[in-house]
Copies of this chain bind each other. A is one copy, B any other.
Amino acid sequence: MNHDERRTGVWLVGARGSVATTAISGALAISAGMVAPVGMVTESPEFAGTALPPLGSLVFGGHDITQTPLPKRAEQLAAAGVIPADLVTAVRHDLATIDSELRGGAKGDDRRCQAEASAALAADLTGFRERHRLARVVVVNVSSTEPPAVHRPEYDSLPELEHAMAREPGVLPPSSLYAHAAFQAGCPYVDFTPSTGARLPALAALARQKAVPFAGRDAKTGQTLVRAALAPMFTARALRVLSWSGTNLLGGGDGATLADPAAAESKSVSKQRGLTAMLGDDVAGATHIDYVPDLGEWKTAWDHVGFEGFLGTRMTMQVTWQGCDSTLAAPLVLDLARLTARAHEAGELGVQPALGFFFKDPLGAEEHRLAEQYTILCDWARRL
């Protein structure tokens, strides 16, 4: 329980994106007492007794492949109604300082072999850790969603993977390369996106070998969150769900990415998986993801549930969720960074199923019901 005095690094892959910029701006504003920590799970009373690194002790850095400076991104988010304009003004100076800690990221067309590419990324992490004399650095991937990776045999064996990486570029997709670099540098890693990331047997082996924890994947912030709260209601009441249909209307950068049917498909599949886990596999219904530019940073999700009750009577429930994606996601980045840092400090290693509360596709866990996930999370955090 005796918490390391040194500060904790949070290294964001995709550090200039909406989620990252909102998370960093918010951490600064909350630490400065400008605004209450609404939306941060780890600031709620249940976590009062846990030994998490204080919000004010977090130091930010990250990789990105674009150059737009953080203060500029924050202004764009203010114009879109995600961050209050006066708050951006107040943290602009700190954002500029953090901006100088950001480094160029891994690009798909990198011609070096991946052993070299990974080593360069790992060097960014160790440099950051040493420069700021940090207790540890947690890497959180909040970069753009990748298309699903085609499986390669090397993914199942660490020696074979490292053999291939020593000779070739392009063995791992970027999200997995970042995970490899993190583990090499002894850093915990969190998959905030649905990308492949650490979810390969070879990388899981590396995490254990380097004694670092990891968690993922794909933060649940809207429709899936609501489904995880509502589906267990039907089960507990023995009501038979016949169909669960959904449509997501997304604006923003993420919407544009998901306008690509391949990317959207992989997101839809992961959404339906949770329903199956909670309700069984004979639930009909498709889930659509549509790009609707005028929604800006907002997302609207409509769900229609058809269910059967006593003596076969059919009934329905509909839900419309209208949320701001970055607003919902950003505090969870901070929560995950703190919890994973504490897990590392406490000696946890490998996949962390207790963090399933945060994810659509919880690595290492079968539990999808929100209330149960929350109980597991709180117990785990208290025990650490």
Contact = CB atoms under 8 A, between A and B. Distances in A.
Interface in A24-45: 25-26, 29, 35, 37-41, 43-44
A372 interface: yes
B311 A322 contact: no
Nearest to A229: B233
Interface stretch (A110-118, A296-304, A342-350): A296-304
A263 interface: no
Interface in A143-194: none
Given A369-B371, A370-B233, A43 B292 contact: no
Contacts of A29: 311
Interface string A238-252: 111011010101000
Given A43-B238, A236-B371, A371-B236, A26 B310 contact: yes
Interface SS of chain A: mixed
Copies in the complex: 4
Contacts of A225: 233, 237
A124 B44 CA distance: 54
Contact of A236 (B41, B230, B321): B41
Contacts of A40: 238, 310
Interface string A38-66: 11110110000000000000000000000
B316 A317 contact: no
Interface residues of A, number: 78
B316 A319 contact: no
A264 B328 CA distance: 35
A294 interface: yes
Interface stretch (A7-15, A83-91, A101-109, A195-203): A83-91
B328 A309 contact: yes
B328 A310 contact: yes
Given A236-B41, A370-B236, A371-B232, A313 B327 contact: yes
Contacts of A316: 300, 322
Nearest to A47: B238
A319 B84 CA distance: 28
A228 B372 CA distance: 15
Nearest to A319: B319
B239 A310 contact: no
Contact of A292 (B37, B83, B245): B245
A272 interface: no
Given A236-B370, A302-B304, A310-B22, A243 B319 contact: no
Contact of A39 (B82, B239, B304, B357): B239
Interface stretch (A129-137, A209-217, A282-290): A282-290
B284 A293 contact: yes
Interface string A313-338: 11111111111100110110000000
Residue of A26, A291, A295 ringed by the most chain B CB atoms within 10 A: A295
A240 B327 CA distance: 13
A304 B300 CA distance: 9
19 contacts: A22-B311, A37-B238, A38-B238, A38-B239, A40-B238, A40-B310, A44-B235, A82-B313, A232-B370, A232-B374, A236-B370, A247-B288, A247-B304, A294-B306, A294-B314, A302-B318, A310-B328, A315-B322, A371-B371
Interface of A: 22, 25-26, 29, 35, 37-41, 43-44, 81-85, 87, 225-226, 228-230, 232-233, 235-240, 242-243, 245, 247, 249, 284-286, 288, 290-296, 300, 302, 304, 306, 308-324, 327-328, 330-331, 357, 369-372, 374
